[in-house]
Amino acid sequence: MESRKDYRKMMNIKKRNKNYVKATVLATLGLGVFATTTVQASAEEWKANTVEQIKEAVKQVKDGIYIIKSGDTLSGISEATGITVQTLAKVNNIENIDLIFAGDKLIIKTEDGKVALVDSKNNIKNEVKLSKEDKQGINEVQKQENNNVYTNNANSTGINNNDGVINTVKPTKPSTGNNTGNSGTATKPVNPIKPVDPVKPVDPVAKEYTVTIKHITEDGELLSIETTKAKENTVVKAKALDFSDRGYEPVGKDTQSITVLTDSTITFTYKKKDNVIPPVENKVSISIKHIADDGKVLSVETQMVEEGTIVKADAKDFTEQEYVLDDELTKSVKAVEGATITFEYRKVETPQPIEKFNVTTQYVAEDGTKLADNKVQEVEKGTLVKEDAIQINGYKLVGDSTQSVVANSNKTITFTYAKDEKPYEPKHTSETVTQVIDENGTNLGTVVPNGYTVVGESTDNGVVTTAENGDTHTVFTKTINVKKDYVPVHTEETVTVNVDTNGTPLASTNGYKYVSESTDNGVTTTAENGDTHTVYKKTVVWEKDAPVVPTNPYVGQQKEVIRGEYNGTFYEGLGNSGMVWGDQMTASLWAIHEIANGGNGGSYLTWQVRVKGTNEIMWTAHLN
């Protein structure tokens, strides 16, 4: 968000730009060089209607549409209906609440908590939700009308409470804000606020008045009219406009100025120029508006320009009124009747400086002798400061022991003391502070934490301090030594024991085959530090391997051998015994008994063979 200073700098740079054709634009629009302007109603004789007159007219409305009459004000209509000026302006798209025109239609129908305009098919064309103030105002008007003013039907106005009664309101307290001009009446009720604390004074806001600049001919024709808002006691300057293209020249001074004390008017008079034939041209009215985001109309200008021309306008600087441009610097529009150029602005709040004052507290004897150092403190304006007297050795206080001031300026609080005939007897106080220290020397605070055990404590001799009045104070330090609690550790192991089927321990399991195993529940031992250890015993049972004793070791299987191998030599067509066994031992036994001995002795061979068909490895033998 740019500051007011940055905004003004931007505007000045724009004005200095050599391509900035402001003079041409002003000539085209017929604008002067005075401050902000706004459209003003006709200067003919005008008399405001009373609220009672407006109320009578409101009763005659149809379909919730009120026809504005000469003498009506928006605030008067608000008071007659109970609807706030702000809501009326919003639902009716009124940009300047001080400017309404006789004959215009005004929506005042309220229903279901809204004020709205509907068409013949009951479709909502425009609506605004009723505010809390609207509802309060409508109820107040209803009370004034003895709770039965308007009947809720197709031609009624007011808010529908679903009981056939329409509520309208009269404001109970005048409102400030933007409702100035012809109305001068309240638009929003304000409930009284009960004060509970002192309120900081607010600097008065300078009053604003309307300055009207008229440009008229000697025979009374109005050439141009503008208005501007100006603060009280400020100087407003205006310059005559150039109407030479219309055959007029100013009479008298080209520049006028006034000091604003009330609503004022500056009038420039023009006469027909000699021997000038005004050109024949078709003039149309265009508006140049400067609108703030809070609804305030900063300026409205209405000018007559030649139809069909392109009209350019520049945004104005309203930083003095705390508004900055939130739009383009320059805009243009084609001149047709009713054309409008609108510049949008937003409010910039300027923080008010905080005023501060010094409050000094002094301590003096009755003869003015300074007894202690002054206490000086800076506080915001309007702050209530309270101070208590201090004790001074050999003196006693004269007057209140507590004093207070409101810091509306630099203030002084003075405590006065008289010489004390009785000497002051110093007082002694003491306190003990605790610290918890672990075995590493770390300070753990003032309380022994969980998980620690106290192993000792001690208190020192204390540190003594003495005040100016002789009072003494001793601070003792109590040290608690702790150590972190040990968390026991649990370990476990399994010891394996091999035994035979009789339970005899085995040094080796060679020649044994596995039978079964089991593990006991273990034996747990606890060390001095709390550690535990569990030893589990696993017992594995083995049985001794039995020798291979075939049921009939001498009978093999007769199978057809396709190939054989012995000591790395492969044989084909061997196996003259025609018998094969599953192992070499059986083959050898058969060979000894059946071939060697049965054959009356002799040597024999055994070798691996593969059986035809299955390729199974077997053993066979034959007599050598």
**CA-CA distance, 597 to 182, in Å (whole number)?**
153
Q: Identify the pLDDT of residue 621.
A: 78
More confident residue, 498 or 581: 498
Listed residue (268, 258, 226, 216) closest to 26, CA to CA: 226
pLDDT above 70: residue 297:
yes
Q: Determine which of 108-117, 193-202, 269-278, 571-580 has the lowest per-residue pLDDT on average.
A: 193-202
401 to each of 334, 363, 366, 416, 425, how far by Cα in Å? 80, 12, 15, 10, 20
Alpha-carbon torsion (137, 143, 148, 149), positive or negative: negative
Question: Comparing 36-40, 123-127, 339-343, 379-383, which segment has the lowest mean pLDDT?
Answer: 36-40
Neighbours of 317 (CB within 10 A): 19
Higher pLDDT, 165 or 219: 219
Whether residue 615 has pLDDT greater than 80:
no
What does DSSP assign to residue 594?
Answer: I
Residue 88 dihedral angles phi and psi, to the nearest 5°: -60, -45
pLDDT tens digits for 385-421? 999 999 988 888 999 999 999 999 999 999 999 988 7
> Which residue, 319, 363, 325, 365, is CA-closest to 343?
325
What is the mean predicted confidence (pLDDT) over 272-285? Answer: 72
Percent of the chain with pLDDT over 90: 33
**Residue 372 to residue 359: CA distance in whole angstroms:** 16
* Res 61: pLDDT: 79
Residue 589 has pLDDT above 70, yes or no: yes
In this predicted structure, the answer to whether residue 443 has a pLDDT above a threshold of 80 is yes
Number of neighbouring beta carbons within 10 Å of residue 308: 10
In angstroms, rounded to a whole number, what is the distance separating the alpha carbons of residues 355 and 410?
11
Which residue do the tokens 């479709």 mark?
A: 123
How many C-beta neighbours within 10 Å does residue 114 have?
17
Distance CA 212, CA 264 (A): 6
**With left for phi above 0 and alpha for psi between -120 and 50, is residue 373 left, alpha or beta?**
beta
Tens-digit pLDDT profile for residues 549-569: 545 555 677 676 766 666 666
